[in-house]
Structures are given as C-alpha cells and as structure tokens.
Structure 1
C-alpha cells in the first residue's frame, strides 16, 4: 500500500509518498514539480505510480501556489514567474538535503521531474546540481532567456504598459543567464535525460527544447548515455497518459 503524507519540509509544503512497508528504508528519491497556476496535488497520479515502483516521491508546493498562495491573479503571478522558478530550483536542494539528513533516501539514486513550469525548473536544476542522476522534463523549456522574451511579447499584447523599464527588463534577462541551461552547453554534465512535448503546444512551444536536445545529442552519443525526446503529434499543453507511462518507464530504467 502506498502512503501519502502532508509534510512541511523546512518551510516548503509537500506531499510525501512511499510504500508503507518500506517507508522507513533508504529509497531512491524523485522530486516532482507542478506547473504554473497548478498545485502539488495535480500530480498525485504519477507520484502514486512511481511510489508503487518503490520510489520515495516528494511533490513540493511552489512559491505563491496552493498552500503558499497570496491570492495573486494570473497576471501578477506571471510577473513573478522567474522568481518562482529560481526559488524552486534552490528549494529542490533544500528538500534533497532534508531527505538525506533524515536517512530516508539513497543519495546515489535521486531524480527530478516536472510539468510545464515544473519542467522548466527541472531543466535548470538538472544543469545546476550534479547529484541529480536522471531527469524528465514534461513540456519544459530550457532556453530561459528566449522563453522570458516570448512571455514579454505575449504580455505586451494584453497590458497597456509593462510594470518595469527596459533597463530592468534587460537586467532580468541578464540575471536569467546564470540559470539558463542552454548557456552551459560547454560544461554540461551528461546524465540520462528525457523530454516530452506536445507538438501542438501553444503555451510552451516545443522548438527550444527540441533545439537543445539536438545540441546535446553529440555529447550523449560520445558518452553512450541515453537522451530521449518524445514529441506527440496531436498533443497540446496537457500531459498525456503516454507521457506519464514513459516517465515511469524512464525512472525504472535509469534510477
């Protein structure tokens, strides 16, 4: 039987899943991050499937979402998008450290996954932390600066005036470079990585992720490490059952 417990990991609300009969053992860890305007509970189905396979799964609540909501509207949240992304990247390490401290995880077997904003966070954290053995990005975009510019273009169509100056905007783009995985190709740490994307996704277009995948391919081929990109022809900005099943298979194989 799989147990689901609500916990506070430091100051981060989270759902914690693992099989009851092995709850106190050191298990491989998977942190699974939800999407923008979503909540941790929305990923319980995939977390349950992973826990059934013997993994310890943590579903954290991102800043300003769910239990951490400050009742901002979608526009206000959008303006905080990259602050949320960067904050969650740092909180992923906090969660890992706490699980290791509690003696609940195998520190050699730790993975990360996420959907949409969570996929974006996954790619940034994977670039930053060598302790992540494998990762799955579902609808994520690794090109932080390019995607931020796309967001600004969309915003300009719905608001009369942006609430920041051109100089502030350029400073934000510059600051994102330190987190942007596409800026770190020369020192990329090759570990198993899976992408999934809907070809018809209008929210996070697949192009940047696929371009990054193509650039990574020679590195992975040289190291003989698996790199995979699943592009579903008719899928939009919704994780399909196929994507969920492939995610579970990926972790079974690589973690």
Structure 2
C-alpha cells in the first residue's frame, strides 16, 4: 500500500478518555500504541501530523490534551505572564499527567505494547509516565527532559522568576514531591526498558545538558547499553525536524 493510501486509511476520532479530551489515530491494523504528549502552551491538534506519520507505520496513536491545555481550562498563554504561568503550572501539569495516565492505559489495554512519547513539555511527561508505569514498554523524549529538577535549576539560573519553583506541590489537597516523580531520581524503575532521547544541541528552551546527565546516569543501569540512546542534532534549537521522525521510525 502506498503512503498516501496508508494516510487515507487512518481513522481519526475525537474522543474523551474519562475526563481527558484526546484525538485517536488508528490504522486498519496496528502492532502497538503510542501516547504522544504535546508541549507547553500547545494542544493535541498540533500533533496530528506527527500522529499520522506514526500511525502510518503501524501504531495506534493517542494524543491527549494535557491538564490546563487545549480543551482543559486553557491558561492565557498570551497574557504576558509567561514566567508566572511556568512557575505556577508547569510541574503541576507534569504530576497531573502522571496521575491520570492509568486512565489512558486502561483505555488502550495491555494486550499490545504501549510507548510514551512527547515533545518539549510532552517529553517531560512521557519520561514521567514511563517511569511511573511498568506497563509502558518504551519511551521517546524529544527536546524534553528526563531530569526535571536539573532542568528547573537551569531555568532558575537563566530566567528571572517572580516566585520560586517549589520542590513540593499541593494538588487537590494532596502534597507531591517533584523528586518522587523526577525520572532522574527513579532510575531503579527503568528495568532495562528501551529509551530514545532526541535533542537539539542548541536548544534555548530546554537545555540538552540535563538530558545528557540523565542519559549518563541511566545508561549505567542497563545490562545492554544499546537499549538507551541519546541522539543530538548540531545547531538545532527547540524544533522537531524530519530527521527526528525518521530516527523514531527506524528505532521503533
């Protein structure tokens, strides 16, 4: 079947998984499932093209709206208070996404492999969901971070925040420690599962340096180091390029 026919054969539906608005992209037959998370201030619709590419290679793709994004109590990202929004909601969005991830897994089912993937903030989420759920078989992190607190510290050095980004959050009257969910501090939960990290080495939004630290620490936990890869792209800022998509397809 030609590529255009493959694209035309995809079934695309807007669905709600519990209270999570999602787009589901399904080929006629699929060998696995990919939950693909979007970035900060973005929404699920912005990932449909990438979802189609992945689905055309034999994967059912679920694109959820992250908490506070898209259809879910959208924040005013054009208010000029970007630093305050980041300080107040970024890490809460990560924790909330992890807490609700089992709803997505229950919907998908466990009879075929599940992969988490994401770009930018979506990469942070994909790493957190992967670490917290042993049902997830693989993880793809594009221009994100698997070392949350290290990235936070880099941001604090670069950005003049009006308020601190705390180590502990209170969500729905429950206290959560970022360290408890930060993939870097939970390397014992990887259990040799495959990881692909893709990052521009000139990324001015999410520095590759924290991801390098995660990669070096995580690699030491593997019996087979080839199961974890960090691919850097020279002079690339905070973008997804065709070479990254090709790398993902080949890796899968």
Q: TM-score range by the shorter chain?
A: 0.7 to 0.9
Q: 1:224 Cα shift?
A: 6.0
Query: Residue 111 of structure 1 corresponds to which residue in structure 2?
Result: 115
Q: 1:219 Cα shift?
A: 2.8
Cα distance per residue 1:77-125 (max 9 Å; x no partner): 312111101111122221111222xxxxx53411110001000111111
The TM-score normalised by the length of structure 1 is 0.84
Query: Residue 247 of structure 1 corresponds to which residue in structure 2?
Result: 248
Cα distance per residue 1:18-67 (max 9 Å; x no partner): 12x34xxx751110000001111111122101111221100000011111
Q: Which structure carries more helix by proportion?
A: 1
Query: Residue 89 of structure 2 corresponds to which residue in structure 1?
Result: 80
Q: 1:158 Cα shift?
A: 5.5
Query: Residue 216 of structure 2 corresponds to which residue in structure 1?
Result: 214
Kept after mapping to 2: 8 A contact 1:108/1:131: no
The TM-score normalised by the length of structure 2 is 0.85
Kept after mapping to 1: 8 A contact 2:41/2:69: yes
Q: Using the TM superposition, name which of 5-14 and 141-150 deviates more.
A: 141-150
Query: Residue 103 of structure 1 corresponds to which residue in structure 2?
Result: none
Aligned pairs (5 A) from 1:139-150: 139-150=143-154
Change beyond 3 A, Cα 1:215–1:27: same
Q: Using the TM superposition, name which of 72-81 and 199-208 deviates more.
A: 72-81
Unaligned runs of at least 5 residues, structure 1 = 101-105
Could you tell me which of 89, 105, 113 is aligned with 1:96? 105
Q: Using the TM superposition, name which of 178-187 and 116-125 deviates more.
A: 178-187
Kept after mapping to 2: 8 A contact 1:14/1:58: yes
Could you tell me which of 189, 195, 202 is aligned with 1:200? 202
RMSD: 2.2
- Give the distance between the partners of 1:108 and 1:71, measured in 2 at CA: 35
Query: Residue 138 of structure 1 corresponds to which residue in structure 2?
Result: 142
Kept after mapping to 2: 8 A contact 1:203/1:237: yes
Kept after mapping to 1: 8 A contact 2:141/2:198: yes
Q: Using the TM superposition, name which of 6-15 and 71-80 deviates more.
A: 71-80
Query: Residue 50 of structure 1 corresponds to which residue in structure 2?
Result: 54
Q: Secondary structure at the match of 1:80?
A: helix
- Give the distance between the partners of 2:20 and 2:249, measured in 1 at CA: 25
Q: 1:138 Cα shift?
A: 0.3
- Give the distance between the partners of 1:185 and 1:226, measured in 2 at CA: 14
Kept after mapping to 2: 8 A contact 1:190/1:225: no
Kept after mapping to 1: 8 A contact 2:10/2:25: yes
Could you tell me which of 25, 48, 52 is aligned with 1:17? 25
Q: Secondary structure at the match of 1:239?
A: coil
Kept after mapping to 2: 8 A contact 1:120/1:140: yes
- Give the distance between the partners of 1:113 and 1:95, measured in 2 at CA: 13
Unaligned runs of at least 5 residues, structure 2 = 1-8, 170-175
Q: 1:146 Cα shift?
A: 2.0
Query: Residue 166 of structure 2 corresponds to which residue in structure 1?
Result: 169
Q: Show structure 1 runs of 4+ deviating over 4 A.
A: none
Aligned pairs (5 A) from 1:173-184: 175-184=177-186
Q: Using the TM superposition, name which of 64-73 and 118-127 deviates more.
A: 64-73
Query: Residue 236 of structure 1 corresponds to which residue in structure 2?
Result: 237
